[in-house]
Copies of this chain bind each other. A is one copy, B any other.
Amino acid sequence: MMRTNKMMMMMKTTMMAAWMLLSAAVSGLQAEDGGMEELTTEKEAEESHRQDSVNLLTFILLLTLTILTIWLFKHRRVRFLHETGLAMIYGLLVGVILRYGIPATSYHNKTPPSCSLKVGPVSTVLLNVSGKFFEYTLKGEINSREIHNVEQNDMLRKVTFDPEVFFNILLPPIIFHAGYSLKKRHFFRNLGSIITYAFLGTAISCFVIGNLMYGVVKLMQMVGQLTDKFYYTDCLFFGAIMSATDPVTVLAIFNELHADGDLYALLFGESVMNDAVAIVLSSSIVAYQPSGANTHMFDASAFFKSVGVFLGIFSGSFVMGAATAVVTALVTKFTKLHCFPLLETALFFLMSWSTFLLAEACGFTGVVAVLFCGITQAHYTHNNLSAESNKRTKQLFEVLHFLAENFIFSYMGLALFTFQNHIFSPIFIVGAFTSIFIGRALNIYPLSFLLNLGRRHKIKGNFQHMMMFAGLRGAMAFALAIRDTATYARQMMFTTTLLIVFFTVWVFGGGTTPMLSWLHIRVGDSKALQEERRQRGQWEYCRVGVDPDQDQQPCGDSFQVLQGEGSEAEGQSKTKQESAWLFRLWYTFDHNYLKPILTHSGPPLTSTLPAYCGPLASCLTSRQAYEEQLRDHDSENLRNDADLTFMFGDTSITANGASGGGGEGGDGGGVSGWSVNGKRSASTSEEALERELDSREQELLSRGTRLVFPIEDHI
């Protein structure tokens, strides 16, 4: 008790120290105001650099504060406020300080000099100032209202980042991490449902919200609340923005409480995929330009053009992402790069980044490409990396993701006060809240009904309610909204989006735990959890929900103890019958051809390809795969070690007729046999026997796990 008090005191001291640093930074801002008379180029540049440093520093200190408070919350098991919600609160506070705490007289509050040009706007302009030439680059168009702002408060404008920063720097690591950590058993089992929610659902949501908002806008026009143009396409654009759900808060709590794996997979998968759909949808809507110019009414040819743009951008980005990941998989497979984890990690990072740039350079959407790159990397490249690199890459992207996400959320808080063109329209805001609710409902319930027609294991009512409830809006909605705030309509949308994000993250995010118990959704197993905690001893409190992957694993294991092992064979035959033909087709292709070509696992190509492909097959098959075949029985032992690299293990025996029972071990065992290689040669036969018994036991248990929720897709 005394210890805790002392620690709390220390905690407060350090937070105060951090706050003092922040205040110092803020007063540094103020100090810059005075005494600048001669604006020479050098000093101007130096000042600007200093200002940038202070701005970044503000955000970094905000993030530091957030981290310390998160720790405190985790430490005390506070669950009603997630780290992103916290980041927003701190952002709001600093926004208030910047807005009202600092005198608005910046050091050049004179009107910037303007000059007239005949030609259209170009990227570079030369200014001739008394004989010397200075180069200026285009920052963007500003409308007449903003010219006033340029004059008024230079500092607030500087705190405002270029919106493209979100798309080019902050979103990619977040989205890539989402894709890279998708490798969950449950995800691929629910792939059909997830894709349905993501594509159909997002489209429904977009059009429902768009049309409802058009009604709201018409109402506003009638009431006379609308002072500028607001087209139907703007409403649809708003619909697209609002369709990108981001249940990061809910998922974090699911992780902590070890909630149902299938529900987790459905929510996580849907949110990841619908981000991609929403981005592409919004750019297709922007591309929708009816030939009749200013009408902004429906035009069939323009509509189909938009649909074409959607399909083109989406498939292009998908191909780009998958292709880069395949190249990475091939490079990591056919080089011995895994001996040098640093090189491997760097290569992995660079290739993943290049996906983004490649897609952007080709006119596709980088963020979408990065998502599919992440999924493909996790599916193939991940198996080729050394254990060390697997850890390193995961941790690297985890940190990047964490920093980027909290940065975005704290920026959101800040933007509520520092963004200078907010348009608060009560009718629009109320309309938006109502329509996103209706849009989400018309997405989840009808689609769940349709999906349940095909699924043997239905999506239960309480699961549907939870999915409805988990429709938070987050980073992606914000990034889409801030991207273009040039027109009146877009500014109103941006303000409304901010408020919706705040509300959903705080209210729905905070209400997740009560909601779970209210809906009677099973969260972990209390007995198994307590057992787990006991074993962890004093370190027990350390691991609550920090690392989703690591925590998900023990959760799965904890079910093992309780669920029956006898139904093993039954489950496998079910799996075979229940799998949809499309899924089975893809699985067989992936298992027989793609996995052997791109990774060291799977059956050797020489056995799956037709005979005339012999030389090619033996060239592409790695030595490890051959070895696999020879020691199929042996590798069976190691299957459970490779649980992470294991995906369709429970269907492989039946789906793959060619390689038979050996295929199953080969799938997961390929990698583990590979990394345990050196170790194994030294082990005695007794050890092997012991290990075999041990792993047999684990195998039984983990098969039991898979039967706990045998939900299969039937689409």
Copies of this chain assembled into the complex? 2
> A108: which B residues are within 8 A, CB to CB?
122-123
Residue of B nearest to A3 (CB): B623
Complex: A130 Cα to B337 Cα, angstroms = 58
The residues in A between 119 and 153 inclusive whose CB is less than 8 angstroms from any CB of B are: 119-130, 132-144, 147, 150
Residue A218 lies at the interface, judged by CB distance under 8 Å to chain B: no
> A395: which B residues are within 8 A, CB to CB?
342, 345, 392, 395-396
User: Smallest CB–CB gap between A553 and chain B, Å?
Assistant: 16
Complex: A358 Cα to B124 Cα, angstroms = 32
Partner of A142, one of B17, B113, B133, B357: B133
Q: Are B339 and A541 in contact (CB under 8 A)?
A: yes
Stretch of A59-67, A488-496, A500-508, A557-565 with 4 or more beta carbons under 8 angstroms from chain B? A59-67
> A68: which B residues are within 8 A, CB to CB?
331, 335, 337, 347
User: Smallest CB–CB gap between A367 and chain B, Å?
Assistant: 13
Chain A positions 598 through 617: 1 when the CB is less than 8 Å from some CB of chain B, otherwise 0: 00000000000000000000
Q: Given A44-B122, A122-B108, verify A357-B7 contact (CB < 8 Å).
A: no
Complex: A334 Cα to B6 Cα, angstroms = 9
Complex: A23 Cα to B400 Cα, angstroms = 30
> A1: which B residues are within 8 A, CB to CB?
none
Q: Are A120 and B347 in contact (CB under 8 A)?
A: no
> A113: which B residues are within 8 A, CB to CB?
117-119, 122, 125-126
Partner of A396, one of B18, B57, B139, B399: B399
Q: Are A357 and B57 in contact (CB under 8 A)?
A: yes
> A45: which B residues are within 8 A, CB to CB?
138, 140
Residue A28 lies at the interface, judged by CB distance under 8 Å to chain B: yes
User: Smallest CB–CB gap between A146 and chain B, Å?
Assistant: 8
User: Smallest CB–CB gap between A655 and chain B, Å?
Assistant: 30
Complex: A133 Cα to B141 Cα, angstroms = 6
Q: Are A141 and B134 in contact (CB under 8 A)?
A: yes
Chain A positions 324 through 356: 1 when the CB is less than 8 Å from some CB of chain B, otherwise 0: 000100110011110111110111011101100
User: Smallest CB–CB gap between A625 and chain B, Å?
Assistant: 14
Residue A685 lies at the interface, judged by CB distance under 8 Å to chain B: no
User: Smallest CB–CB gap between A561 and chain B, Å?
Assistant: 22
> A335: which B residues are within 8 A, CB to CB?
7, 10-11, 14, 68, 71
Q: Are A127 and B133 in contact (CB under 8 A)?
A: no
Residue A584 lies at the interface, judged by CB distance under 8 Å to chain B: no
Q: Are A538 and B678 in contact (CB under 8 A)?
A: yes
User: Smallest CB–CB gap between A567 and chain B, Å?
Assistant: 37
Stretch of A46-54, A202-210, A416-424, A585-593 with 4 or more beta carbons under 8 angstroms from chain B? A46-54
> A130: which B residues are within 8 A, CB to CB?
118
Q: Are B347 and A67 in contact (CB under 8 A)?
A: yes
User: Smallest CB–CB gap between A243 and chain B, Å?
Assistant: 24
Residue A542 lies at the interface, judged by CB distance under 8 Å to chain B: yes
Residue A578 lies at the interface, judged by CB distance under 8 Å to chain B: no
Q: Are A39 and B120 in contact (CB under 8 A)?
A: yes
Residue A539 lies at the interface, judged by CB distance under 8 Å to chain B: yes
Q: Given A125-B112, A139-B135, verify A361-B54 contact (CB < 8 Å).
A: yes
Complex: A541 Cα to B340 Cα, angstroms = 10
> A358: which B residues are within 8 A, CB to CB?
21, 25, 53, 57
User: Smallest CB–CB gap between A192 and chain B, Å?
Assistant: 33
Residue A34 lies at the interface, judged by CB distance under 8 Å to chain B: no
Q: Given A41-B138, A138-B41, A403-B346, verify A340-B537 contact (CB < 8 Å).
A: no
Residue A687 lies at the interface, judged by CB distance under 8 Å to chain B: no
> A134: which B residues are within 8 A, CB to CB?
121, 138-142
10 chain-A/chain-B pairs, Cβ below 8 angstroms: A6-B619, A18-B327, A25-B358, A67-B350, A71-B343, A113-B118, A134-B138, A134-B142, A346-B399, A538-B677
Instruction: List 11 extra interface pairs beyond A54-B357, A74-B340, A114-B133, CB under 8 A.
Output: A50-B361, A67-B346, A71-B343, A114-B125, A115-B127, A118-B129, A125-B136, A126-B142, A135-B141, A342-B547, A346-B402
